[in-house]
Amino acid sequence: MRERIDALVDPGSFHEIGALAGRAEYDDSGERVSFTPSNFVLGTADIHGRRVVVGGDDFTVRGGVAGAGHGKSGGLNLRYA
């Protein structure tokens, strides 16, 4: 998804919001044992010099399934715009 966003926007202008969003699992001692990243990429960028909010879903991250926070992330881009 990030490659597609880079192809859409002006070079070097994309700034991701919440780059480390997702779901972590911890063992009994509190150590993180796994992390599944969010499948929604959100950020700001320029297109032909105009500032925009850009978002996209990458369904390859979770095997074609939207994450539990999918609706929240999608709504965030509208509020941010």
Q: Which CATH superfamily, name and number, covers 2-80?
A: 2-enoyl-CoA Hydratase; Chain A, domain 1 (3.90.226.10)
Bigger pLDDT: 14 vs 69: 14
- AA letter at 36: T
In the block, residue with structure tokens 């960028």: 45
pLDDT at 50 over 70: yes
Question: Could you tell me the sign of the dihedral formed by the alpha carbons of 37, 7, 70, 63, in that order?
Answer: negative
pLDDT at 35 over 70: yes
Residue 49 is predicted with a pLDDT of 97
Tokens of 26: 């911890």
- AA letter at 33: V
pLDDT at 55 over 70: yes
Residue 7 is predicted with a pLDDT of 95
Tell me the C-alpha distance between 71 and 2, whole Å: 20
Residue 23 is predicted with a pLDDT of 79
Tell me the C-alpha distance between 26 and 28, whole Å: 7
